[in-house]
């Protein structure tokens, strides 16, 4: 019985960490357009294996994938911005990436609060 309690406490601790990582990702996203999201990303990579076999593992993967895809779309926007013709497409790409990242953060945060795994 005590072993189950330890596992539940461990899972709750890992869930709380994932919750805080969502919060730091969101703060970075809102205050610097994600420029400082590499900090929680490093923690995601470092702590992901501790949650193997739990729903929290999927949240670490979700945050990691969200970071890399957001970075790819922002870089694509930067490349488009370098050309005069591509400037409107760059703004469209950046707006789409921003909305997509906001959706990913909100969905992940809400699903974590309901103890649901991410796809």
Q: 48-86 burial string, b = 16+ CB within 10 Å, else e?
A: beebeebbbbbbbbbbeebbeebbebbebbeebbeeeeb
List phi, psi (to 5°) of 115: 55, 40
- What is the per-residue pLDDT for 14? 95
- What is the per-residue pLDDT for 34? 87
- What is the per-residue pLDDT for 119? 92
pLDDT < 50 stretches in the chain: 1-6
Asked whether the beta carbons of 38 and 91 are under 8 A apart, the reply is no
- What is the per-residue pLDDT for 84? 85
Cα distance between residue 89 and residue 44, in whole Å: 32
- What is the per-residue pLDDT for 48? 96
């Amino acid at each position: 019985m005590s072993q189950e309690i330890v596992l539940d406490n461990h899972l709750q601790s890992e869930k709380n960490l994932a919750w805080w990582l969502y919060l730091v990702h969101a703060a970075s996203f809102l205050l610097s357009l994600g420029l400082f999201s590499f900090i929680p990303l490093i923690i995601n990579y470092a702590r992901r294996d501790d949650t193997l076999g739990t729903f929290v593992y999927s949240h670490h993967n979700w945050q990691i994938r969200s970071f890399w895809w957001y970075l790819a779309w922002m870089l694509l926007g930067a490349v488009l911005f370098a050309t005069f013709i591509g400037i409107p497409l760059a703004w469209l790409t950046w707006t789409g990436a921003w909305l997509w990242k906001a959706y990913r953060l909100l969905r992940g945060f809400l699903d974590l609060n309901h103890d649901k795994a991410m796809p």
